[in-house]
Structure 1
Amino acid sequence: MSNLKQVTYHIIFWVVIMFSFAISEWGYRQTFGDAIIYELLYLPSRLIAVYVNWFILIPRVLYKNKFFFYFLYLLMLLAIMAIAHRYFVLYWGYPKFFPQWIQGGHIYVWKFSNLLQAALIIVSPVAFTTGFKLFFDWFKERRETEALRREKVDAELKFLKSQTNPHFLFNTLNSIYGLALEKSEKTPSLILKLSEILSYTLYESNVEKVDLGKELALIENIIALEKERYEKRVDIDYKVEGKVEKIKIPPLILIPFIENAFKHGLKNEIKKGWIKIHIKATKDLLFFMIENSISSIEEKEKGTNESGLGLQNVTRRLDLIYGEQKDLDITKTDTSFKVVLKIKSQ
């Protein structure tokens, strides 16, 4: 906020304060002009009290959690300003504007009731501005905290996403490498599919959200690639329902589940394995279910670190992006591993 704008706001505040008190004082004075003059005589003491409290007592005492000293210094400030105001009006203000108020020529600066009245009149804008500053500073701090939190979340999301791409690439290259060793004729076409997958991950996934249709096209490429690798060893049931073109999701958010199903469901399976993928899009909900058979051969290396990292990664991303707007259920039995994800429309 520019200095000129700040000064303008302060001037408007004091004009509003002065006229508000003048209107309430009007009933006790002969004219509204007398009420205005009366309030103007209080303006210097109010200004000093408000800004000493605003710029010194609140930031240097109250915000340092020195509550006792804050109230002590505030009482001292009000007492000093009440006395100063009494000297100001009795020796200059009243003789100049309200000479009839000087009783018999006697000046009672130290009359307790008058000092208390002056202190109470001065403290009213002090109390109002204190409340306003506390709220303003709290709101500013909350906004800055929220901005820092968003920056932290964005940084974490970028980090998690950066882990997804190389992890996915590593697994895909491993699949093609296995076929290349066998000198399979399918290798060139699989490399072409891989290039399409990489094009998506490199150039189309650098956004917050993508059309679900694009993500499904990527999933279908991965399925095609993996079917070529495993051939008749895997039975895939892939089904999509609903109007997927109206849904947007974070890029690569479903891929770790697909990878996990192929990598750990079929890795050491001699017999035929199976994978079921069901995606349904409605107006209010995106439903994603993937279930795979579990290898009947006990793996010497469980592979839990790599699999666990991928699932932990995507689970954390879902938590950061959707919070309570999603429901993720992962269940494992002796024969199958199942993931059910439900995302509510935001």
Structure 2
Amino acid sequence: MKLKSVWFHIGFWIIYTATFTIVEASYKGKYTEALTFELINLPMRLIVVYFNYFILLPRLLLQGKTVKYFGITFLTLIVAGFIQRIFNYYTLSFLNPGLPDNGIWIFYKFLQASVIIASPLIFIIGISAIWKVSELQKRAKNLENEKLQSELKYLKSQINPHFLFNTLNNIYGLSLDNSKKVPGLILKLSDFLSFSLYESNQKFIPLTKEIALINDFIELEKSRFEDRVEVNFSVSEEIGSVDVPPLIFIPFVENAFKHSLKNETGVARIDISLKKEGQDLLFNIRNSKPNTPVEETVKHGIGLENIKRRLNIIFEEGYELKITDEESQYGVLLKIYLRS
């Protein structure tokens, strides 16, 4: 038993004994007599309570053997009440020879002794049960939080390897042509990977960092597709200081590039906007759809299920995600209810 628990039990018995002494003495005003009676009953109470607490409770009740637990507890109280009644009779007769003698075999006296022993048992087992349930709930919550945090780390670590592979291939191709773009693209890719590996471990980051990441991503993708794609990314000035989960918008941007350019013979268009509307943060992205139909629908794009799961874990009901799939364009509207 932990020291904290020991002090709890000591405190319980002091308060319990004092309370019942005062209650009993209030009828006759005999505090010494009431305290003597409580102390006479105390040893049997301790035996029954801690037999139940250390043996019956963990071995029966907490193991789901409820009927057996209550059956043995009831039998224990009957036996203890019988012993206590006999002990009380001879002890009180010895201490107070002048008391009227109505005999030892009085049924309600045996019942009274059992109830006197049962009262602290009900209190302490009830408190202990609530305590243990609270600890189990706390442990379950901690385990759930650990599970969610592990899942979040896993989900955030899922950077699309195709993006990395294609970007490196593109930089390699540009380097063969001695392109002046190579140093800048390598720096942007380095920043992107550094962010993904380190800063993404945080639960929330400043929106400005996420915007910089999106810009780097767009530049890296535009370096691959050049004049095949037109991107417009606008951020409203009134956004101010806002925190968001890291890598929360990138999967949508990645999907927009993938699905607007796949099988596209003309110029694809992607429009992205970030703005505040009251206390809400609105991220809106729309991309054109290729003239040639794509067999795989954008609804099964990269990271979409990943991002939905992350949003559910972090925000629960604090967001809205609306996806529109029209004939000529595909859109995503993500509304996040900002924390106060």
TM-score of the superposition, structure 2-length normalised? 0.90
Q: Deviations over 1:15-74 (max 9, x none)?
A: 000011111101344521211111111111111121122222222222233332222211
Q: 1:170 to 1:42 in 2, by over 3 A?
A: farther
Q: 1:151 aligns with which of 146, 159, 165?
A: 146
Structure 1 residue aligned with 2:50: 51
Structure 2 residue aligned with 1:318: 311
Q: How far apart in 1 are the matches of 2:186 and 2:315?
A: 34
Structure 1 residue aligned with 2:269: 274
Q: 1:287 to 1:171 in 2, by over 3 A?
A: farther
Partner letter of residue 47 of structure 1? L
Which sections of structure 1, spanning at least 5 residues, go unmatched?
Answer: none
Q: Deviations over 1:55-95 (max 9, x none)?
A: 2222222223333222221111111111111222222x313
Q: 1:251 aligns with which of 246, 254, 262?
A: 246
Structure 1 residue aligned with 2:76: 77
Q: Offset at 1:185? A: 4.3
Partner letter of residue 192 of structure 1? L
Q: 1:220 to 1:116 in 2, by over 3 A?
A: same
Structure 2 residue aligned with 1:192: 187
Partner letter of residue 83 of structure 2? A
Q: 1:167 to 1:140 in 2, by over 3 A?
A: farther
- 2:17 pairs with 1:22: no
Q: How far apart in 2 are the matches of 1:134 and 1:63?
A: 9
Q: 1:95 aligns with which of 88, 93, 96?
A: 93
Decide which moves more: 172-181 or 127-136: 172-181
Show structure 1 runs of 4+ deviating over 4 A. Answer: 165-168, 177-185
SS class of match (2:198): helix
Q: How far apart in 1 are the matches of 2:8 and 2:108?
A: 34
Q: How does 1:233-244 map to 2 (within 5 A)?
A: 233-244=228-239
* Number of equivalences: 339
Q: 1:303 to 1:194 in 2, by over 3 A?
A: farther
Structure 2 residue aligned with 1:219: 214
Decide which moves more: 70-79 or 276-285: 276-285
CA contact (8 A) 1:247 1:281 kept: no
Structure 1 residue aligned with 2:293: 298
Which sections of structure 2, spanning at least 5 residues, go unmatched?
Answer: none
SS class of match (1:163): coil
Q: Deviations over 1:207-233 (max 9, x none)?
A: 221111011011112222333433333
Q: Deviations over 1:136-167 (max 9, x none)?
A: 11111111111111111111111111112646
SS class of match (1:296): coil
RMSD, aligned CA: 2.4
Identity of aligned residues (%): 43
SS class of match (1:99): coil
CA contact (8 A) 2:81 2:114 kept: yes
TM-score of the superposition, structure 1-length normalised? 0.89
Q: Offset at 1:181? A: 6.9
